[in-house]
């Protein structure tokens, strides 16, 4: 029989943190908690490891860093109360460091009690979330499931938790989980469902990859059904080195109804008005359930006064190309701003890659912080300079021209270079000049290579690969063209100037390091190349699977040899924003010295720049 329904306004603070900036992140929590209070919320949820930023990587191994996080958490609880915010329940992620749970403690546990994924070490760093209320840290939850795939190394750093705390807040039972716990069927959400709760809160730091927003809502719906409770999923937003986080926070009812969804790639406070019937929970249990121990804690039994519920706020997911563009813009902006860099510089060739990088930089930083340099050689076509100048006028960025032919001739006067060595000399002169301008003026040099080129090593070390950040490093060439067309259409639809010259999009791509040179002299068509890269790099398919998917055997053999041989180059490349299933860098780690090759009868291999 249904009893009295209880209302609760929950706020999800989708914020952009900075790794290592504990005081700054504490201020961020304080400011957004005040916003949640102004919005009439009784509970506000922040992302995973908010106080430290995510991912902190090997900072986790420093006990001083963990201690600073712990102290900041306790001080934050007291500070919120001092500022009149003690009546707000705040769930915030942080780095914990617990005593007595290192190797000896784990060894002393009964075998059945030992976490299957435990990685004990001296002391116990924990990926944790806490609920603060009334000036105190009421409960602490330690993340149960530690992802150790793709970009994640959490088993390297953390010890998993075995306890599921449930807090009675204004007459509603609230369970805490963290990120990966939500992705595991039969994990903490399943335990919560067996224990009997009304609400599950899930702080997250879930990195963006293309179309990932399509996976999240079905996932949260499955976990809400499993928990038999509403789930509020609060995800981080912002860039951190190669990763970018898109937010996309949401609240989902047990029956799958979407109660609220935040926009992507912006900081946002999402409020969701929940109506919960505590009497619908047939049984409320504590103690041992499965692999976890459920504990119960009481903050307040008295429900909040009834209020007029607001209509759900549901942001529509972005269209695919806009989503990717915004990810790249945010990743670039946060890399520059969080590292305190005033401006960027890049070489403008008139080609599609430098045009797209320039447009991204202007969108991210504003035209006044972007410096483009034309660096024509004797092989540069007239349209290359014209297209670069046209782009500068369209976007408003700073533009200058430095001809490199005299410098290249001076090199040739001292040493005789021919063939690829002579071609690469031009690229290295350009790289040296751009790095000089970077040093002179404090600009960060952006490198303009795309994923297709990075994959097969179609770049010059210490030349066009030079730079501190690579905005389109994870963008295949075919997608570069699609993004250019989308960005122009986006501007056109708004009555704005299209930033990218049509000629940069339409002309055949060329490095212009030799007379009449085009990329297809050295590479398969980009349609073919990108198809093989997607299957071999992103999906890790072997030769048999690649052929089964219909790729041409000679193209496959050629491309795989180029990809495998270019690993040493990729180790020296700049970081760039991840948007794909698997990006080069922390996402894909292969040995440089490696004799394994996918086998196929020998075919003639094409040459790439070295």
The 10s digit of each residue's pLDDT in 358-371 is 999 999 999 999 99
Q: What is the pLDDT of residue 108?
A: 38
Percentage, residues of the chain above pLDDT 70: 92
In the chain, % helix, strand, coil (3-state, to 5) comes to: 40, 20, 40
Q: Confidence band (pLDDT; 50, 70, 90) for 419?
A: confident
Catalytic site residue 569?
A: no
- Which residues partner with 239 through β-bridges? 244
48 is catalytic: yes
Residue 605 has pLDDT above 50, yes or no: no
**Phi, psi dihedrals of residue 400, rounded to the nearest 5°:** -145, 165
In angstroms, what CA-CA distances link 229 with 199, 221, 319, 519?
A: 5, 10, 31, 56
Average pLDDT over residues 416-445: 91
Task: From residue 247, give the alpha-carbon distance in Å to each of 250, 259, 320, 372, 493.
Answer: 9, 16, 16, 32, 26
- pLDDT, position 122: 52
Of 298, 339, 314, 291, the C-alpha closest to 161 is 291
Q: In this predicted structure, what is the pLDDT of residue 515?
A: 63
What are the residues whose beta carbons fall under 8 Å from the beta carbon of 593, sequence distance 6 or more? none
Does residue 234 have an active-site annotation? no
Structural contact between residues 508 and 519, judged by C-beta atoms closer than 8 angstroms: yes
Going by pLDDT thresholds of 50, 70 and 90, the confidence category of residue 270 is very high
pLDDT of 104 strictly over 70 = no
The torsion angles phi and psi of 207, rounded to 5 degrees, stand at: -65, 150
**Amino acid 595: pLDDT:** 82
Q: What is the pLDDT of residue 209?
A: 93
| Contact between residue 223 and residue 199 where contact means Cβ atoms under 8 Å apart | no
Q: Where are the alpha helices (DSSP H) in 290-351?
A: 320-338
Residue 318 token pair: 């972005």
Q: What is the pLDDT of residue 266?
A: 97
Q: What is the mean pLDDT of residues 578-587?
A: 90
Mean of all residue pLDDT scores within the chain: 90
Q: Is the pLDDT higher at 515 or at 27?
A: 27
Confidence of residue 31 (pLDDT cuts 50, 70, 90): very high
**What share of the chain in percent tops pLDDT 90?**
73
CA distances from residue 302 to 6, 187, 585 in whole angstroms, order as listed: 10, 30, 51
**Distance of alpha carbon 27 from alpha carbon 75, whole angstroms:** 12
pLDDT above 60 for 109: no
Please give the Cα distance from 448 to 357 (Å, whole number). Answer: 6
Candidates 407, 466, 430, 463; CA nearest to 610 is 463
Averaged pLDDT, 308-318: 92
Q: What predicted TM-score, i.e. pTM, was given to this entire model?
A: 0.91
Contact 287, 294 (CB under 8 A): yes
Q: In this model, does residue 516 exceed pLDDT 70?
A: no
Six-digit token pair at 476?
Answer: 């295949």
Nearest to 192 by CA among 203, 176, 178, 180: 176
Sign of CA pseudo-dihedral 581, 585, 589, 595: positive
Q: Quickly count: other Cβ atoms within 10 Å of residue 368's Cβ.
A: 11
- Tokens matching residue 331: 């990743």
Contact yes or no for 290/164 (Cβ under 8 A):
no
pLDDT of amino acid 517: 64
Query: Is the distance from CB of 12 to CB of 236 less than 8 angstroms?
Result: no
* 110 pLDDT tier (thresholds 50, 70, 90): very low
Of residues 492 and 594, which shows the higher confidence score?
Answer: 492
Token pair for 155: 């088993």
Closest C-alpha among 244, 191, 183 to residue 219: 183
Q: Which residues of 391-415 are buried (b: 16+ CB within 10 A; e: fewer)?
A: bbebbebebeebebeebbeeeeeee
**Which residues does residue 298 pair with via DSSP β-bridges, in sequence order?**
168
Residue 352 tokens, joined: 């599609």
Specify which residues 588 forms β-bridges with.
585
Q: Are 181 and 144 in contact (CB under 8 A)?
A: yes
Contact partners, residue 204, CB within 8 Å, separation at least 6: 47, 48, 178, 179, 182, 233, 234, 235, 236, 249
Give 174-214 as a 3 state SS string.
EEECCHHHHHCCCCHHHHHHHHCCCEEEEEECCECCCCCHH
Residue (of 559, 369, 353, 370) closest to 464 by Cα position = 353
Q: Using alpha carbons, list the distances in angstroms from residue 219 to 27, 104, 189, 243, 318.
A: 32, 37, 12, 21, 19
Which three-class secondary structure state does DSSP give residue 346?
strand
CB of 246 closer than 8 Å to CB of 166: no
Range from 4-8, 106-110, 476-480, 594-598 that averages highest in pLDDT: 476-480
Q: What is the mean pLDDT of residues 541-558?
A: 91
pLDDT at position 508 over 70: yes
User: What's the rounded mean pLDDT across residues 555-565?
Assistant: 91
For residues 194 and 538, give the distance between their C-alpha atoms in angstroms, rounded to a whole number.
38
CA angle 115, 117, 120 (to 5 degrees): 80
Yes or no: say if 584 and 451 are a contact pair by the CB < 8 Å rule: yes
Assess contact for 153 and 125: CB atoms under 8 A: no
CA 162 – CA 181 distance, rounded (Å): 12
Coil/strand/helix, residue 90: strand
Where do we find the tokens 């250019």?
A: 484
Overall size of the chain counted in residues: 610
Task: Determine the Cα–Cα distance for residues 276 and 6; give it in Å rounded to an integer.
Answer: 5
**Catalytic pick among 27, 35, 38, 48:** 48
Task: Out of 179, 234, 323, 338, pick the active-site residue.
Answer: 179
Asked if 2 and 279 count as a contact pair (C-beta separation under 8 A), the reply is yes
pLDDT band at 87 (very low <50, low <70, confident <90, very high): very high
pLDDT score for 596: 83
Among the listed residues 70, 143, 189, 453, the single catalytic one is: 143
pLDDT band at 509 (very low <50, low <70, confident <90, very high): confident
**By the 8 A CB rule, do 497 and 394 touch?**
yes
pLDDT in tens, 421-435: 888 888 899 999 999
Confidence of residue 123 (pLDDT cuts 50, 70, 90): low
Indicate the pLDDT class of residue 107, thresholds 50, 70 and 90. very low
Confidence of residue 512 (pLDDT cuts 50, 70, 90): low
């Amino acid at each position: 029989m249904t009893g009295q329904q209880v209302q609760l306004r929950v706020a999800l603070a989708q914020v952009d943190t900075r790794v290592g900036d504990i005081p700054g992140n504490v201020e961020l929590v304080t400011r957004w908690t005040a916003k949640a209070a102004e919005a009439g919320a009784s509970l506000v949820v922040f992302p995973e490891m908010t106080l430290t930023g995510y991912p902190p990587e090997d900072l986790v191994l420093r006990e001083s860093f963990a201690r600073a996080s712990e102290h900041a958490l306790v001080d934050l609880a007291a500070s919120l109360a001092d500022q009149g915010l003690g009546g707000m329940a705040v769930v915030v992620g942080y780095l914990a460091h617990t005593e007595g749970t290192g190797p000896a403690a784990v060894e002393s546990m009964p075998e059945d009690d030992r976490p299957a994924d435990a990685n004990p070490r001296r002391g116990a760093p924990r990926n944790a979330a806490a609920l603060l209320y009334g000036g105190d840290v009421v409960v602490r939850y330690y993340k149960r499931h530690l992802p150790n795939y793709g970009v994640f190394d959490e088993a390297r750093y953390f010890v998993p938790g075995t306890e599921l705390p449930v807090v009675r807040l204004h007459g509603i039972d609230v369970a805490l989980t963290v990120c990966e716990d939500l992705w595991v069927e039969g994990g903490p959400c399943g335990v919560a469902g067996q224990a009997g709760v009304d609400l599950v809160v899930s702080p997250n730091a879930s990195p963006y990859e293309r179309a990932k927003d399509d996976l999240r809502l079905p996932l949260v719906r499955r976990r809400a059904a499993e928990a038999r409770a509403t789930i509020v999923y609060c995800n981080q937003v912002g860039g951190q080195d190669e990763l970018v986080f898109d937010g996309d926070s949401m609240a989902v009812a047990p029956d799958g109804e979407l109660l609220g969804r935040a926009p992507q790639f912006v900081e946002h406070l999402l409020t969701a008005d929940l109506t919960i019937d505590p009497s619908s929970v047939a049984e409320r249990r504590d103690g041992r359930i499965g692999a976890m121990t459920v504990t119960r804690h009481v903050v307040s039994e008295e429900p909040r006064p009834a209020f007029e519920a607001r209509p759900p706020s549901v942001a529509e997911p972005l269209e695919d190309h806009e989503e990717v563009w915004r990810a790249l813009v945010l990743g670039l902006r946060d890399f520059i701003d969080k590292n305190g860099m005033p401006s960027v510089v890049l070489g403008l060739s008139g080609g599609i890659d430098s045009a797209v990088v320039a447009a991204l930089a202007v969108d991210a930083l504003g035209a006044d912080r972007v410096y483009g340099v034309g660096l024509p050689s004797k092989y540069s076509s007239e349209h290359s300079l014209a297209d670069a100048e046209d782009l500068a006028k369209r976007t408003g960025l700073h533009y200058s021209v430095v001809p490199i032919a005299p410098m290249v001739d001076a090199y040739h006067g001292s040493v005789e270079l021919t063939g690829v060595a002579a071609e690469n000399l031009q690229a290295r002169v350009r790289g040296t000049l751009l790095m000089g301008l970077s040093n002179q003026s404090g600009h960060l040099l952006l490198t303009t290579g795309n994923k297709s080129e990075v994959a097969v090593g179609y770049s010059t070390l210490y030349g066009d690969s030079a730079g501190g950040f690579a905005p389109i490093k994870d963008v295949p060439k075919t997608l570069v063209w699609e993004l250019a067309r989308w960005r122009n259409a986006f501007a056109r639809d708004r009555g704005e100037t299209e930033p990218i010259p049509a000629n940069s999009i339409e002309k055949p791509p060329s490095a212009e390091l030799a007379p009449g040179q085009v990329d297809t002299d050295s590479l398969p068509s980009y349609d073919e190349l990108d198809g093989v890269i997607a299957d071999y790099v992103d999906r890790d398919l072997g030769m048999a699977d690649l052929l089964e998917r219909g790729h041409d055997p000679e193209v496959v053999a050629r491309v795989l040899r180029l990809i495998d041989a270019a690993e040493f180059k990729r180790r020296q490349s700049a970081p760039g924003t991840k948007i794909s299933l698997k990006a080069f860098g922390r996402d894909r780690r292969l040995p440089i010295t490696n004799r394994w090759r996918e086998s196929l009868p020998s075919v003639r291999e094409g040459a790439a720049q070295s």
